[in-house]
Amino acid sequence: MTTASEQPCYTLINISMDSEPPNEMQLKNDIENGDTPARREALKKLIYLILNGEKMPGLLISVIRYLLPVKDHTIKKLLLIFWEIVPKTHPDGKLLSEMILVCDNYRRDLQHPNEFIRGSTLRFLCKLKQAELLEPLMPSIRGCLEHRHSYVRRNAVLAIFTIYKNFDFLIPDAPELIHNFLESEGDASCKRNAFMMLIHVDQERALEYLSTCIDQINTFNDILQLVIVELVYKVCHTNPSERGRFIRCIYNLLQSSSAAVRYEAAGTLITLSSAPTAVKAAASCYIDLIIKESDNNVKLIVLDRLIALREDPRHEKVLQELLMDILRVLAAPDLEVRRKTLELALDLVTSRNVGEMVLVLKKEVSKTESVTEHEDTGKYRQLLVRTLHSCSVKFPDVAAQVIPLLMEFLSDTNELAAADVLVFVREAIQRFEQLKPLIVTKLLEVFPSIKAMEIHRAALWILGEYCTTAEDIQSLMNEIRNSLGEIPIVEDEMKKAAGEDTEEESVSVTAGQRLVTEMGTYATQSALSTKASKKAEESRPPLRGFLMDGDFFLGSCLSTVLTKLALRYIDLKKDATRQNTFLAESMLIMSTILHLGRSGLAKKNINNDDVDRISMCLKVLAERHPVMSEIFGEKCRASLQAMLSAKQEETKNAKQDGADKKVIKVQADDPINFMQLLAKADSGNTEDQLTLSLTLATMGTPGKKDTTSLTQSKLSKVTQLTGFSDPVYAEAYVNINQYDIVLDVLVVNQTSDTLQNCSLELATLGDLKLVEKPQPMTLAAHDFCNIKANIKVASTENGIIFGNIVYDVTGAMSDRNVVVLNDIHIDIMDYIVPATCTDTEFRAMWAEFEWENKVTVNTNIHDLREYLQHLLKCTNMRCLTPEKAISGECGFLAANLYARSIFGEDALANVSIEVPAGASAQTPVCGHVRIRAKSQGMALSLGDKINLSQKKDQAQ
């Protein structure tokens, strides 16, 4: 038995299940005796029933007698759907005799004076699969090619195309007929359909027509130009010797007025030719599209094509010449477009064009200062700073131009850009000895204007480490004193609090509330005096303000800086008086910070760690031991050098890996790929790109390379929903394609009864949404069918799909039967991909995210590194901790992990594991994994995944 799901379906109609299904006699009465609205409703209900699997053979003659002659346009449209879905043959495959009457009616419709009826009838004929029905209509279909209206003509071409493709014996001269029609046709849509037909059925005629009008291509409509691009690609792909003949045609289409045509032409040109001129023309076209298109999605898609072009080592030099054109894309307002553009530009920059690129980036930096502050402005400024940083590291000659400009950002309220500037300055001052005087001078200039505490602290460290002359040391000490204000701090603050500061006594007083002072005299309190404390806080110097807010970690950092400066100053100046003066001043500052921290005047008291640090610095200055002098004077800088070297080595290795991937390796004995036998991830460059893109669109982009065959990977995703002894057996293939889940459910009737209204009822738990309710089916005895259900995914968290199968048994008087299905668990790992971020970004997100899930390690793995690798494999996360930091055997391992979902959600994890001291070799790893995420669902789901997969299968 053929079920409704196996019949060809071109129209999807939603069926309301609320109302009671009508019976055959009622429908027959409405069709034969009802008025026009009643007939419309009856025909709609009849279509619903047939889609549900009902045959209704008794109503066929009624429809032919009473509805076919009706002139109402709505009924005519409904009849087209009815004749599409109604069974047209006997069980033995012979055509029903009643269909001859239907055929005669549609012959009259093909000659109808109304062009809409003609055109819609021609569209319907494209869906017919019975040659006996189409044969009498062929003269009328041919006649429609000469109709005055273009709607009829273009649908006539489509009808001839479909009929020739399915039954070429009905119209053997179709290619010649359409070729002649194409030469005389003037309408763009008709020419497009005709040309598309020739491409698929007779390429020689299509090429012959193209050759006659190749010089007029630029005047064609865009829909015809797109089809021409497709033809040229197909011909040149199958017959490379034709490339020279049609390559000029593609060059001409790069100048088309349609953005879609230019995009397709550029892609085709790159595929057909790797000549530098072709690549340059295509890349220029892509750049022009990005700049002129307003849609951000279009910009990102075309930008991805440019990035893919750069990954081919043959094209890299050509793109390097277009670097300045690529930088024009920075005019786009979208941050993601700018980020990808800067990454691409950084990969393409060379010693020849780095100067021009730096000038452009400096202009962009200046623009961000004049633009009104926006959320993305600070992030864009940060991107520019990082790009200039990378340029300066790659090409040290430009660092001198960049540093003065970037220093101005240190006084910015946006900490993102300022922090990156300091990271750059720290690396530049360590690497480039000749730039040290310039950097120190500029940093001392902007130091008083720094507003952010973290930036203040980092700038202090850099100045304390690299101020090596007596003049610079004295200048820095003056700046520190100015930033602290009058010392001792506690006494000064108490004076101000008691109102004994004479400088701010003269304040104009307005009429206000009269108060009695302690001495019994009257005083007037003005509105201005209530704001005095706020003004005093605002007028505090920066360093004092931070300390009064309770940021005593800054005080401990300042103590370290003062210790370095004092020890260095003693070596530079041999005058004992000056030495003692500088030492005393440094120790006074440390002492006053300690006093302030314990006085209770600050918003928070100093903690024990900071007390210990400041006390240690005081002791070092008091004793001045040579070992401590060496640690403060040399070891700190050596540690920085080691860190920068390790970072440089890591970057170098990453670039080397990228370069290795770029190398084209084609061996003589490489296997030949056949598309039908390929796993999706194995398709090579030699495959037809049009076919490949269509496959990706219909089957989805694979998240990771299939290591197994297509059959094995599909079988691993099949979930059994019912038992083998249930009256209805069901199993589902779960196909996850980014934001969609498609359930392909196989339903088998294991009984000897016909099951009517067999429907799959689903519900979801989590952030899943059922798009549409699956339609009911009718299953014969021991029959089976496939039911598909689409589910949308909105966020990254574990989801559950549950439900049941409900059906009626023919002839049974009992209630509906129900088979409960097993739950389908949607794995979070299908949405998580490894990602990377800087240490600063990781720490910022760790502090920002409020949901934390702590998972205790419970595993049978004995090796720390093995457990980490197992965890990375199971969670799709990337280890951010460098390899050198976790190498070696010390019995303890700590690492940071990071991943991002396809919805843009971040997932952070910190692994802290150890093997207990003195334990045997078989002792398992212990410790914990802390997960942080922005949403609760993400943190819980990832924790559940780690709990389930911690133990390694012994068979592995």
* Residue 386 scores a pLDDT above 50: yes
Angle between helices 296-310 and 276-292 (to 10 degrees): 160
pLDDT band at residue 685, thresholds of 50, 70 and 90?
Answer: very low
Give the Cα-Cα-Cα angle 718, 724, 729 (nearest 5 degrees): 65
The larger pLDDT score, comparing residue 818 to residue 416, is at: 818
Q: What is the pLDDT of residue 517?
A: 47
pLDDT in tens, 562-586: 888 888 888 887 778 888 888 888 8
CA distance 604 to 547: 9
Phi first, then psi: give them for residue 525, nearest 5 degrees: -100, 120
Task: Tell me the mean pLDDT in the region 628-636.
Answer: 76
| Each residue's pLDDT tens digit, 729-764 | 999 988 877 677 888 899 999 888 888 888 888 888
Q: What is the pLDDT of residue 712?
A: 47
**What's the pLDDT band for 372 if we cut at 50, 70, 90?**
low
Q: 3-state class of 774 per DSSP?
A: coil
Residue 914 or residue 513, greater confidence: 914
Q: How many other CB atoms are found less than 10 A from the CB of residue 292?
A: 11
Residues 6+ apart with CB under 8 A from 256: 218, 222, 225, 262, 265
Q: Give the residue, 550 or 372, on which the prediction is more confident.
A: 550
Burial class for 556, CB neighbours closer than 10 Å (0-12, 13-18, 19+): buried
Task: Look at residue 675 and tell me whether its pLDDT is greater than 60.
Answer: no
Question: Nearest Cα to 485, choosing from 531, 443, 546?
Answer: 546
Q: What is the DSSP letter of 632?
A: I
Confidence of residue 508 (pLDDT cuts 50, 70, 90): very low
Residue 527 has pLDDT above 50, yes or no: no
Q: How far apart are CA 369 and CA 378, in angstroms?
A: 10
Give one DSSP letter per residue of 21-72, joined into a string: PPPHHHHHHHHHHS-HHHHHHHHHHHHHHHHTT---GGGHHHHHHHTTT---
258 and 288 in contact (C-beta within 8 Å)?
A: no
Determine the pLDDT at residue 702.
45
> What is the mean predicted confidence (pLDDT) over 5-28?
61
The whole-angstrom separation of Cα 327 and Cα 316 is: 16
C-alpha distances out from residue 377 to 179, 366, 367, 368, 422, Å: 57, 12, 10, 6, 19
Number of H helices, E strands in the chain: 41, 18
Rounded to whole angstroms, how far apart are CA atoms 932 and 943?
10
Mean of the per-residue pLDDT values for the chain? 78
Q: E strand or H helix at 403, and its extent?
A: helix 399-407
**pLDDT score, position 319:** 85
- pLDDT for residue 666: 54
Mean pLDDT of 436-455: 82
Identify the band that residue 513 occupies on the pLDDT scale cut at 50, 70 and 90.
very low
Nearest CA among 795, 956, 796 for reference residue 876: 796
Residues 6+ apart with CB under 8 A from 642: none
> Contact at 8 Å (CB) between 26 and 731?
no
Give φ, ψ of 204 to 5 degrees. -60, -45
- Does residue 822 contact residue 721 with C-beta atoms inside 8 Å? yes
**Quick check: 526 pLDDT over 80?**
no
Q: What is the mean pLDDT of residues 636-658?
A: 71
pLDDT, average across residues 328-354? 86
CA separation for the pair 746, 715 (Å, rounded): 13
Q: How confident is the model at residue 930 (pLDDT cuts 50, 70, 90)?
A: very high
CA pair distance 227, 224, nearest whole angstrom: 5
Region 224-235: mean pLDDT is 79
The Cβ of residue 10 has, within 10 Å, a number of other Cβ atoms equal to: 11
CB 209 within 8 A of CB 183: yes
Question: pLDDT-based confidence at 659, cuts 50/70/90?
Answer: low
pLDDT of residue 591: 87
Quick one: which of 483, 604, 601 has its CA closest to 552?
604
Q: For residue 346, what pLDDT band results from cuts at 50, 70 and 90?
A: confident
CB 158 within 8 A of CB 193: yes
Per-residue pLDDT at 89 exceeds 50: yes
pLDDT at 801 (0 to 100): 87
- Confidence band (pLDDT; 50, 70, 90) for 709? very low
Choose among 430, 435, 426: nearest CA to 461.
426
pLDDT, tens only, 853-908: 898 888 888 888 888 888 888 888 888 888 777 777 777 888 999 988 877 788 89
Q: DSSP string covering 636-689, please?
A: HHHHHHHHHHHHHHHHHHHHHHHHHHHS----TTPPPP-GGG--GGG--TTS-H
Of 491-505, 700-714, 742-756, 791-805, give the lowest mean pLDDT range.
700-714
- Rounded CA separation 574/88 (Å): 111
Residue type for 603, please?
K
Q: What is the pLDDT of residue 730?
A: 92
SS3 per residue for 709-723: CHHHHHHCCEEECCC
Q: Which two tokens stand for residue 223?
A: 């829909």
Q: What are phi and psi of 794, to 5 degrees?
A: -110, -25
Contact 842, 935 (CB under 8 A): no
Q: Which pLDDT band holds residue 503 (cuts at 50, 70, 90)?
A: very low
**Can the peptide bond before residue 488 be classed as cis, meaning omega within 30 degrees of 0?**
yes
What is the C-alpha separation between 687 and 233, in angstroms, rounded?
Answer: 12
Q: Kindly report the pTM of this predicted structure.
A: 0.65
Indicate the SS3 state at residue 834: strand
Query: CA–CA separation, 477 vs 562, rounded Å?
Result: 8
| Predicted local confidence at residue 128, as pLDDT | 82
533-548 mean pLDDT: 67
CA distance 474 to 455: 21
What does the block give as tokens for 208? Answer: 């012959």
Q: Rounded to an integer, what distance in angstroms lies between the CA atom of residue 616 and that of residue 594?
A: 12
Chain segment 160-179, per-residue pLDDT in tens: 888 888 888 888 888 888 88
The strand pair at 755-765 and 799-809 is best described as antiparallel
* Residue 761: strand, helix, or coil: strand
Confidence check: pLDDT of 62 > 70: yes
Q: How confident is the model at residue 673 (pLDDT cuts 50, 70, 90)?
A: low
E-strand ranges in 187-249 read none
